[in-house]
Amino acid sequence: NQIYEGNEIHLPGGNGDLQLIPANFHCVYKIPVPRDSAYKLYASVELKNGIRGVNDYIVVTEENGNAIRMNNKTGIGGKPYRYIVTSGGEMTIEMVTKSVFMDTKMAISVYYRAYCNQLVDSDISDGDTISIPGTSLQPIPTLYSCTYTIAAPTTPTTGLYANVTLISNMNGIQDKIIVTDITGANDCDPDISYYNYIVIPGSSMSFQIKTGDIFMASMFMIRVEWHEVTIGPTKPMIRDEINYVDLALLKDDTSVFNSVTFSANEQLVVNDVNYQESAWIDFPDCFVIDGNITDQKKVFTFKNFNSFYYKSESNYMTFVMFSKGTNAFVLNLLSVAREYNYPFALSCGYQGIGTGLNSSEYNPVQKTAFEVINFKSVGIKLTHLFIYSETCKAYIVSGSPGNSNILLDLSTAEGTHYFDVNNLSVVDEDCDFTIFFVHWICEGGPSYSEFCNQLNSAPGQMLTTLSYSKNCHHPHYQIAGYVKMLPICHHGGEYIRS
């Protein structure tokens, strides 16, 4: 009744530490492993030699019949001896002391494990911690081959996620662990012994364990901690609006897990927009899912997500946060993205942004567009507009490029314009121009008063950004400080300056 999966036995007692053995002691410890049809058990055996008496000894007979005699000169005080007893096998350890007590010590620890015992949903619940193959790091047999799958169950409203820790001590050249994380990437460095992973609700990861035909006392342990979370809302995509997720707002301080799913009746196109001064940051515990929580087609970390116009396979995109991000993603319906040549998105902060469009670079019937978002508040200000073509058909609409609500016809626009919205789109049907926007900060309240005072007290100064059109040498935008004139842009063989 002591032989079952997960049991640990320490002989002659204690917790695996060396035990005093009296004089005139003679015992043969038999360590069997039955041939079990339900669980293919094996025993990992650890022997500690603490012999002091010159005539005291230990005889170990392995399951293959190989016998080893130990005395006070054989590995005393060194590393423990490790053995494996496989299914249907048996080993013995004979302990002998003579008539004079010499402070001899010995300890045997037997750990019964099951080959490839998998986790099932019925065995896990919130707050549980499960260790595979057992709660301590012990050697595994030769020719061990198993793939452990850690799957996190979920429903559309609640689910479990797992914090997974791998402790690896693979010693043989043929012994290895191949880890496939929730994104499908293989990740395991043999020089690293400690790894941490997250398995989000509805996803899974696997650990493939293999050992060769020579016993090298390789060890591993997988510790899985389960936590229940509430799945975030599902938002239907609205064609006339700019659909976006601000990662700084998605993650709150009341829950370790936050998510949001966007749904549509067609595929989606995702691109990122960075609204901080810093470059794009990889948050390793944040994920992008092609699909919803219960039907995940692909899972990406921020690092491996191609957010430059990613086209989904499904009609859903989900964003999962375990730590607060500082970036944002914009989503468009595939039909809208195709109609407007896959519009890009820019953040309109207090530094300002500028860019340009040139319809002559595309097919005559191809509309182009870009989207502008004020992530901080309501209010966007158009500061400068330069039109280079003789005729111009371009306009600003509220929301997404497909919105019919035209806020401003650029062909007749003059001066500064204020828009009482937090997002808009610039659509180009037949025009070559550059345009500049800033966050409408001076109407933003007292939090911006110091900045506004500095701006208003410096006549002629404007917060501007380098823009581009088809002939500019550097097709990107950059942040500038307070400057008295716009940066120079080379266009059509001439220089244009404010």
Examine the domain organization and report whether 346 and 472 are in the same domain.
yes
Examine the domain organization and report whether 355 and 486 are in the same domain.
yes
Longest dimension (CA), the chain: 113
- For the chain, which residues score pLDDT lower than 70? 37-38, 75-78, 188-191, 274-282, 306, 326, 349-352, 441-498
Planar angle of CA 303, 304, 305, nearest 5 degrees: 100
Q: In this structure, what CATH number is given to the domain that contains residue 211?
A: 2.60.120.290
pLDDT of residue 78: 65
DSSP state of 128: -
Planar angle of CA 77, 83, 89, nearest 5 degrees: 145
Within-domain flag for 473: yes
| Structural domain containing residue 451 | 340-496
Within-domain flag for 1: no
pLDDT of residue 450: 45
Examine the domain organization and report whether 261 and 298 are in the same domain.
yes
Examine the domain organization and report whether 92 and 165 are in the same domain.
no
Return d(Cα 297, Cα 317) in angstroms, integer: 10
Within-domain flag for 335: no
Last residue within a domain, chosen from 330, 357, 386: 330
pLDDT of residue 253: 76
Last residue within a domain, chosen from 330, 348, 371: 330
pLDDT, tens digit, 9 for 90 and up, residues 283-298: 778 899 999 999 999 9
pLDDT of residue 494: 40
Examine the domain organization and report whether 127 and 110 are in the same domain.
no
From the list 493, 498, 492, the residue with the least C-alpha distance to 480 is: 498
Last residue within a domain, chosen from 330, 348, 369: 330
Return d(Cα 288, Cα 306) in angstroms, integer: 10
Return d(Cα 283, Cα 126) in angstroms, integer: 25
Within-domain flag for 248: yes
Q: In this structure, what CATH number is given to the domain that contains residue 22?
A: 2.60.120
pLDDT of residue 254: 79
pLDDT, tens digit, 9 for 90 and up, residues 82-118: 999 999 999 999 999 999 999 999 999 999 999 998 8
pLDDT of residue 77: 66
Within-domain flag for 3: no
Examine the domain organization and report whether 357 and 481 are in the same domain.
yes
Examine the domain organization and report whether 428 and 462 are in the same domain.
yes
Within-domain flag for 2: no
Looking at the DSSP bridge assignments, the partners of residue 436 are 354, 384
Examine the domain organization and report whether 186 and 302 are in the same domain.
no
pLDDT of residue 99: 93
Q: How many domains does the chain have?
A: 4
